[in-house]
Amino acid sequence: MPKLGLTLTPNELDIIELKKLAVAEEVTLAAVMALAAVNVLGWLAPARDRFSYGVWGLMSAWPVLAIFLSALSLQSSAPRTRKRLRRFSLALAILIAAVFTVIFCAQMLRIWPRMDAFLPSAQMASSFLAVNMSPQAAGAFALLGLAIVFAGARGRLAGVAADVVVGCLVLVVLVLVSGHFIAVLHVFGPTPGVRTSSQTVLCLLLLTAVVFFRRARHGVFSIFLGRGIGSRIARALAPVLVVLPYLRETLRARILNARQMPPHYMTAILASLAVVVAIALLLFLAWRIHFMEAEIHALSLRDPLTGLYNLRGFRLLAEQALRLAKRSGQPFSVLFIDMDNLKEINDSQGHQAGSAFLVETGDILRAAFRETDVLARVGGDEFVVAGHFNQPAIARAAQRLEEFAARRNAQPGREMVLSFSAGHVTSAAGSRDSLDEMLAAADRAMYEEKRRRKFMLQPHI
């Protein structure tokens, strides 16, 4: 007899999400490196001056170098790469962090000598190799290199440090990206010239996303890649929670610039919209939790292969049915079923064929018994049925099960025969038999039937 056990498994990473993420990372890094290459080709084009200005103009040499080296470092540190490549990736990341930290400090202190003084007089060299990055972009690239260094940290203290560094990188890049595009889109009206190219900001955002999800495989951000309820909710709500604040502030700025509404009405409208959105998110969260609780409840009581109840579900429902039978003075029966040839099917045709036979057995049980009967798979090849049957009724039900199996076996092209051994026991009205006692008795009856069949099939001299 199988015993009921409880196994708790941790919230592991979702393999499907990891595969999707790996493909997205490859595409993102390829796109970033292609964009850097396009900028290099743009410098060499005869009409490069047309593309060198404007918010979407060509990037200068230092951002292109930072983007290319960062993408190369991330590509070299991808999961399942060789140790030599990982060391190369680490060296690149340290170089990026060191160089752009120096540039950031020099820009902030205004002590960086322009590269023009050390370069030939060629216009292209002096134009594109001069360090004309904004301190914000230089600081973001320095932090990006540091985050790449820590992205794969596993230890407790190193993991906490890595999560903090990546979190700071995300914050800095969000500020830089949102500030850049708010200025470019003139949300608050005309703004002075934007120093950083939109291509640089876009590439920085994409590289930060790769670093974030690379870190999410190990650290606290792994909640976004898990298989549990919290992970699903986090994945669903994160995009909404990221976008909503920007939409709200953009709407506020537009209304302020229009000067067509009193400030108290504007505040009332925005506050009311925030309340409606918060309630909508609350309803969505409650609905998702309710749905997942129902799903978990079903999974805890159901066998995932056949769709029948598992041992836990059988005990719960059969105990209730037995108590009801005792109170109403009705007979109660348990039928124990064992597949005779599952091992032979697995050995000759493979476990996939064996699983198909188990599913077919579940279909036969559903067809042969009533919806009110409790049908369960309680072991690898063991099934059990419980319900309000008297002795003749449960015997007819067992015979009906044999007839349904015979019909399946008579189908053309059938290679393996589906065969059962069954034993049943009935508790008369007023009996005090427990469910465990009835299960044990039905199990013994099933083995007696199996031995009888083997004896009948043996040749007698």
Same domain membership, residue 105 and residue 201 = yes
- Is 278 within the bounds of a domain? no
**Angle 145-150-153 from CA coordinates, rounded to 5°:** 160
- Is 87 within the bounds of a domain? yes
Among 227, 246, 263, identify where a domain stops. 227
- 3-state SS record for the chain: CCCCCCCCCCCCECHHHHHHHHHHHHHHHHHHHHHHHHHHHHHHCCCHHHHCCCCCCCCCHHHHHHHHHHHHHHHHCCCCCCHHHHHHHHHHHHHHHHHHHHHHHHHHHCCCCCHHHHCCCCHHHHHHCCCCCCHHHHHHHHHHHHHHHHCCCCCHHHHHHHHHHHHHHHHHHHHHHHHHHHHHCCCCCCCCCCCCCHHHHHHHHHHHHHHHHHHCCCCHHHHHHECCHHHHHHHHHHHHHHHHHHHHHHHHHHHHHHCCCCHHHHHHHHHHHHHHHHHHHHHHHHHHHHHHHHHHHHHHHECCCCCCECHHHHHHHHHHHHHHHHHHCCCEEEEEEEECCHHHHHHHHCHHHHHHHHHHHHHHHHHHCCCCCEEEECCCCEEEEEECCCHHHHHHHHHHHHHHHHHHHCCCCCCCCCCEEEEEEEECCCCCCCHHHHHHHHHHHHHHHHHHHHHHHCCCC
Same domain membership, residue 328 and residue 198 = no
Same domain membership, residue 323 and residue 207 = no
- Is 235 within the bounds of a domain? no
Same domain membership, residue 222 and residue 323 = no
| 64, 40 contact by CB (below 8 A) | yes
- Is 38 within the bounds of a domain? yes
Among 227, 259, 288, identify where a domain stops. 227
| Maximum CA extent, the chain | 111
* Residues in the chain, overall count: 461
13 forms beta bridges with 226
CATH number at residue 387: 3.30.70.270
pLDDT of residue 52: 54
pLDDT of residue 4: 39
Same domain membership, residue 330 and residue 219 = no
- Is 40 within the bounds of a domain? yes
**Per residue of the chain (461 residues), what is the pLDDT tens digit?**
444 333 334 456 778 888 888 899 999 999 999 998 988 887 776 655 555 555 667 788 888 999 999 999 999 888 777 888 888 999 999 999 999 998 888 878 776 544 444 444 444 444 444 456 788 889 999 999 999 998 888 778 888 899 999 999 999 999 888 888 888 777 666 666 556 788 889 999 999 999 999 888 887 888 888 877 778 788 888 888 888 888 887 777 777 676 666 776 777 777 787 788 778 877 777 777 777 777 666 667 888 888 899 988 899 899 999 998 888 888 999 999 988 878 888 877 888 888 888 898 899 999 889 888 999 998 888 999 999 999 999 999 888 888 888 888 888 877 777 888 899 999 877 778 899 999 999 999 998 888 887 766 555 44
pLDDT of residue 459: 56
- Is 284 within the bounds of a domain? no
Same domain membership, residue 336 and residue 218 = no
Rama region for 80: left / alpha / beta (φ>0; ψ in -120 to 50; rest)? left
338 forms beta bridges with 382, 421
- Is 406 within the bounds of a domain? yes
Among 193, 211, 227, identify where a domain stops. 227
Domain that holds residue 70: 15-227
- Is 98 within the bounds of a domain? yes
Same domain membership, residue 315 and residue 209 = no
Counting the structural domains of the chain, the total is 2
| 60, 133 contact by CB (below 8 A) | yes
Same domain membership, residue 21 and residue 123 = yes
pLDDT of residue 25: 92
Same domain membership, residue 165 and residue 46 = yes
| 278, 343 contact by CB (below 8 A) | no
Same domain membership, residue 353 and residue 211 = no
